[in-house]
Structure 1
Amino acid sequence: MLLEKYIDHTNLKPTATGSDIKKLCEEAKIHGFYAICVNGCHVSLAKESLDKTDIKIAAVIGFPLGAMSSKAKVFEAVDCIGNGADEIDMVINLGWLKSGMYNAVRDEIKAIKEAIGNKILKVIIETCYLTDEEKEKACNLAVAAHADYVKTSTGFGTEGATFEDVKLMKRTVGENAKIKASGGVKDKKTALHYIELGVSRIGTSSGPSLIK
């Protein structure tokens, strides 16, 4: 098991500069990370920086609140794919979920998945704001909408990934979707335990120190 092949090396800071993104890409190349994860405005630069490598580019959509219109999220996803993104990490509409507007949540995920075709879609459910029942519901809606992954967190909420949340997500989705643990994964021991629990991808800004 190569830990680096589980890592989405991430910089989603609003203050990230072009130099920061180039550094992120260089670190991904040095350590052989599976992917990088950036805001949409940096996708073109990342594509240029990672030219002639097999490192994937993930772009976040509706980030970090998930509260913009579905039409805006779909446009943003398509735009990022057009600029070179291989994967989309979208934030669900938490207010809709908490209002019981389950069809709206599912339809939004489905619309984005259909818009990006065979590209990977990860659905961020932002577990820190949800009850266990809501977490299960969000995971089931993502599966119903044919998402490829469910993801714990943006890293910008009140808490990131937890072992208990990953266990709950794994119980809920089974083999119907993969799981990405993200937010607060800062050491190798924690990362390896998430993999033991069944995650297929780890989102972290601490990739180089995890490998060392």
Structure 2
Amino acid sequence: MKTSKKAAEMTERELARYIDQSVLKPEFTVDEIKKYAQEDIDFGCATICINPASLPIVAPMVEGTDTGLCVVCDFPFGLATTEAKALLAEEYCSKWNIEDLDIVANYGRLRSGDLDFVIADLKPTVEACHKYGTKVKVIIETDFLTPEQIADGTRCAIAAGADFIKSSTGFVTGVPSVGATNEVVAAMMEAGEGKIKVKGSGAIRTQEHFFELIDMGIDRMGVGYRSTPIVLGMTPEEAKHQA
């Protein structure tokens, strides 16, 4: 989403519209989920990215606000069967007013070069979501991929009819977690050729990096609840108060 206005010229509210704030830690209590969801709403972020079990908690909170629901599906591994993923998407989207659904691609099959499988595995979930007007973001876990595989994954998401390609889950183990580097985001943009929106997620923790990605033309970013006040330019004292 290339804009004429530089990130440094944007208001806090304009910057917040780039953010899906992550409230995904499995150990969160109900009170913690409510706390960070409310902060997301107060900031004016695009969505709150939550686990499905949090839907009954967070859905009533976003009603009448500018912030939508983003639910993850088959997260964080993407290894359920094709049919199970589509059933989960149907379950969530038919019962809740969900703006976006973030689905994890089978990136092991992507690394194997089995691109037809990756596309066919995603399509039923995309179709289930689109019936309800829910946009789909495909996560390809770029920390495990070569630049060529990132390009292949982006093209698979396009072929499956997805709305966004997304870099990371934020739950990587076993390899260095670099997430949405400028190079990774540029690779997704180049492969996407304007046919799909781009969401960077993982290790977006400074305002400098956040601004760089906006100025590159990114469409959305997944930002952790601790980092949101920082990338929005709050003072350390303000950020500490939000934590």
The alignment partner of 2:154 has SS state of: helix
Q: Is 1:198 aligned to 2:217, yes or no? A: yes
Contact 1:107 1:145 in 2 (8 A): yes
Deviation at 1:156, TM superposition (A): 0.9
- 1:129-148 to structure 2, matched below 5 A, reads 129-148=144-163
CA RMSD of aligned residues (A): 1.2
Contact 1:43 1:85 in 2 (8 A): no
Deviation at 1:207, TM superposition (A): 1.2
The alignment partner of 2:158 has SS state of: helix
The aligned counterpart of 1:154 is 169
Q: Is 1:181 aligned to 2:200, yes or no? A: yes
Q: Is 1:209 aligned to 2:209, yes or no? A: no
Q: Is 1:164 aligned to 2:201, yes or no? A: no
The alignment partner of 1:121 has SS state of: strand
Contact 1:44 1:84 in 2 (8 A): no
How many pairs are equivalent? 212
The aligned counterpart of 2:115 is 102
Deviation at 1:208, TM superposition (A): 2.1
After TM superposition, the structure 1 stretch with the greater mean CA deviation from structure 2, 96-105 or 119-128, is: 96-105
Q: In the alignment, which of 77, 95, 103 is matched to residue 90 of structure 1?
A: 103
Alignment partners' CA distance in 1, 2:202 and 2:112: 25
Deviation at 1:129, TM superposition (A): 0.5
Alignment partners' CA distance in 2, 1:93 and 1:40: 19
Alignment partners' CA distance in 2, 1:155 and 1:77: 21
The alignment partner of 2:200 has SS state of: strand
The aligned counterpart of 1:127 is 142
The aligned counterpart of 1:18 is 30
Q: Is 1:115 aligned to 2:128, yes or no? A: yes
Q: What is the letter of the counterpart of residue 68 of structure 1?
A: A
After TM superposition, the structure 1 stretch with the greater mean CA deviation from structure 2, 169-178 or 47-56, is: 47-56
Contact 1:28 1:36 in 2 (8 A): yes
Deviation at 1:165, TM superposition (A): 0.6
Identical-pair percentage: 34
Deviation at 1:181, TM superposition (A): 0.6
Unaligned runs of 5+ in 2: 1-9, 235-243
Runs of 4+ in 1 over 3 A off after TM superposition: none
Q: What is the letter of the counterpart of residue 135 of structure 1?
A: I
Alignment partners' CA distance in 2, 1:198 and 1:150: 14
Deviation at 1:30, TM superposition (A): 1.5
Query: If you compute each CA radius of gyration, which structure gives the higher value, 1 or 2?
Result: 2
Alignment partners' CA distance in 1, 2:33 and 2:98: 14
Alignment partners' CA distance in 2, 1:80 and 1:43: 9
Q: What is the letter of the counterpart of residue 124 of structure 1?
A: I
Q: Is 1:9 aligned to 2:21, yes or no? A: yes
Q: What is the letter of the counterpart of residue 175 of structure 1?
A: G
Unaligned runs of 5+ in 1: none
Alignment partners' CA distance in 2, 1:96 and 1:200: 27
Alignment partners' CA distance in 1, 2:81 and 2:98: 21
The alignment partner of 2:66 has SS state of: coil
Deviation at 1:132, TM superposition (A): 1.2
Contact 1:62 1:90 in 2 (8 A): yes
Alignment partners' CA distance in 1, 2:190 and 2:113: 22
Per-residue CA deviations over 1:150-180 (Å, capped at 9, x if unaligned) read 0010011141111111111111102100100
